[in-house]
Structure 1
């Protein structure tokens, strides 16, 4: 009889411990949501949120302690609950106390920020992006935590192409693909920021773009690459990361807005496979991409403000697709006989059917999200005025749960950019970890 009573009481201990542990887990996650406003868990916001959540799930919890994890940006919660013995008291057993602890916050995050740096972002927009990005870095990485955290952060600024400048603070990544210093075409070849000669000659009637004018672009000087902000590889060096963000600019001569190229190179940066190899191979590490843009994805004559009505050669014609040069559909090149741009455009596959640029954005996002080895979680931020097509694309590339837009954010004006980054930061901190990981940075 006594043995049966002891079994019943120990069953109650097991049930109460599980209930307390679940409540403490939930409390730590609730506290971590306040880390953007209470990063060191010292102004009461994280503590209040954690305690309120804990008592709502287990009213019997006591001796509640809420504190910072230490090496990682995290909240740790401990609590106890008394379990009264019943039948076991007959054989002298006293009441028992069960305890539980949990931590939640930021670690094991590899984040790349894919940021529109076209001319329309110049001024207040890029300033707010830099401030928001800095806040997010400070949230993920506590001061002097770069030796403890397993988190890394990289940058991929983009216009109509991306740039590798040979000066990456991660010295092993200064020429990651072996192509050399400069921008990149969509096929991975070097783009030197100059207009290709075959797009500009106006001396003979047999020339492809005979009679067209040249606006703001040259075949001899780099107009659209050298001034661009460059890619920066994943790094855990907080000082370098913040310096990279501070150096972002949106003042270079633009070559359009190709979101697909930003996403493609964002995936390259996150993956541990070449060309960039700083990514962690540990599957526990979350691969995160934030994509922010204020413009249509556009490619000179293909779409956007330089659609088919334009007959002016412009800087958009130096972007990642036009920079590849003309690519005839047939084995015989008709360069010497064509004299109109209309026919020539038919030989640039990326410009067929009015352009496939919107689909390229979705394709690149799907490649990242569906990577079988290192899937990427994408958050998208749409800034400024948007038409329904633009919003639809940005929603499609986001890793939102079915039936939601929880990874898509719409910032209608410059002020909204910082709030959107803060909301993303809250989601990134929704991760449970052990006390050891919170205090040392090591799982």
Structure 2
């Protein structure tokens, strides 16, 4: 057999190939394509990886920030919120898919809370033989801003709230508690106090500390003020005297501390002497509940509310202040004591709710005469004192208290809610508008559903304050 690959024949073949230009372009193109195509696809891989990395980082940052500002206080809840936000914001290039994602709450050694998030996206491989194709992975961290929350809920329990208005109030208040008081009290706490009021406030077991010890013995032979019974001249017939028994309800304090939150020692609040039950203006049965994170106990207080009596809105308002005041802290158990004003990461707020006109003031523990700030709805003049209120009418007292509460260093946020289920009430609307922090903190619901919506809006605002920079 002839040797096709002899030296002479091979040289001849190569010579002809060099001078034959018919296939040069095709061969060159083939060689170039074989080398450059994978490189080009690899460059495209790098480009898509970079583009997806940016999109993923932006989406994860937005989702982490959203989760950090949400009203979620467990890792499970934060993860749920974060996943929804990531899904809504993430843009994937064609062929890419979300491989994994997670959001978690992490407490630092400094006591701060962070939301830490991770996400990875699997990319399509355009040059599978040239480069490794690991998933695009990013992380995000947001230090969760937060504030402790102390809220006093001041609720109208007057006779006009009887029936469906009271039922609506209880439903709305219970929902407010659930929205504001968190089951998780770390790293920031959220506590609520409840102050039911009508013609006065029932201080219950705290009455003695707030008003002082009852006098006894010979000093009470004439039933003087501060004794178990008090004899006074009534407003219907000033020459006629009436005698009423003391209660655990309390009235406003007078003098230089009438409109501040100085401690009650040395400047006690007033006694309340109870009218006969036939008058329908008794000491209300529901007592105050100091600051608490016990959601069940707070609901129990709401369940105890009953409608009775006239309206001393200024007394309810004052006790809303006392409940979160550091100056009154020693009156209450350690877990219920208001922190000092100016404490970092602390919001103090009062929610004042009423269904109408303020019409009741006191003189020496007895509802004062009609000429000094009361009207017919405060009961019979037979059981009013013939002396006027030293502090003036209820609206004036309420406004003075509101002004002091909002002023520095107290800086208390005030929400006002006028549950006008019986129609327009201009005097009540005026005090509620003037008392609130601003117009955005005022609500005038007229139905049970709108009252619930108002309390939901307040809860949302409080949670924004709690989770804010």
2:226 and 2:84 mapped to 1: Cα distance? Answer: 56
Q: Structure 1 or 2: larger helix share?
A: 2
Match of 1:421, SS state, is helix
Which of 384, 400, 411 matches 1:363? 400
2:407 and 2:301 mapped to 1: Cα distance? Answer: 29
For 2:461, the equivalent position in structure 1 comes to 427
Residue 239 of structure 2 is aligned to residue 220 of structure 1: no
* Larger-gyration structure (1/2): 2
Residue 454 of structure 2 is aligned to residue 393 of structure 1: no
Residue 201 of structure 1, CA deviation: 8.2
For 1:112, the equivalent position in structure 2 comes to 152
Match of 1:391, SS state, is helix
For 1:378, the equivalent position in structure 2 comes to 414
Which of 371, 381, 394 matches 1:313? 381
1:263 and 1:240 mapped to 2: Cα distance? Answer: 22
Structure 1 contact 41–75 (Cα < 8 Å) conserved: no
TM superposition score normalised by structure 1:
0.61
Two-structure CA RMSD over aligned residues (Å): 4.9
1:311 and 1:108 mapped to 2: Cα distance? Answer: 42
Match of 1:416, SS state, is helix
TM superposition score normalised by structure 2:
0.58
In the TM superposition, what are the counterparts of 1:234-245 in structure 2 within 5 Å?
234-245=291-302
Deviations 1:75-101 (A, max 9, x none): 96846488x9xxxxxxx9x99744224
**Which structure is higher in RCO with an 8 Å CA cutoff and minimum separation 6?**
1
1:287 and 1:245 mapped to 2: Cα distance? Answer: 21
For 1:334, the equivalent position in structure 2 comes to none
Residue 55 of structure 1, CA deviation: 6.9
For 1:284, the equivalent position in structure 2 comes to 345
Match of 1:248, SS state, is coil
Match of 1:399, SS state, is coil
- In structure 2, the CA distance between the partners of 1:27 and 1:246, relative to structure 1 (3 Å rule), is same
In the TM superposition, what are the counterparts of 1:5-84 in structure 2 within 5 Å?
21=61, 24-26=64-66, 28-29=68-69, 31-32=70-71, 65=102, 78=117, 80=119
Deviations 1:108-147 (A, max 9, x none): 211111111111112222222222222222233455x579
1:66 and 1:292 mapped to 2: Cα distance? Answer: 39
Residue 317 of structure 2 is aligned to residue 263 of structure 1: yes
1:242 and 1:190 mapped to 2: Cα distance? Answer: 36
Which of 143, 163, 171 matches 1:131? 171
For 2:287, the equivalent position in structure 1 comes to 230
In the TM superposition, what are the counterparts of 1:175-214 in structure 2 within 5 Å?
175-177=208-210, 179-180=212-213, 197-199=232-234, 202=237, 209-210=238-239
Structure 2 unaligned runs (5+)? 1-52, 108-112, 124-131, 215-223, 246-273, 276-280, 361-369
Match of 2:413, SS state, is strand
Residue 220 of structure 1, CA deviation: 3.1
Residue 49 of structure 1, CA deviation: 7.5
1:398 and 1:411 mapped to 2: Cα distance? Answer: 15
Residue 162 of structure 1, CA deviation: 1.6
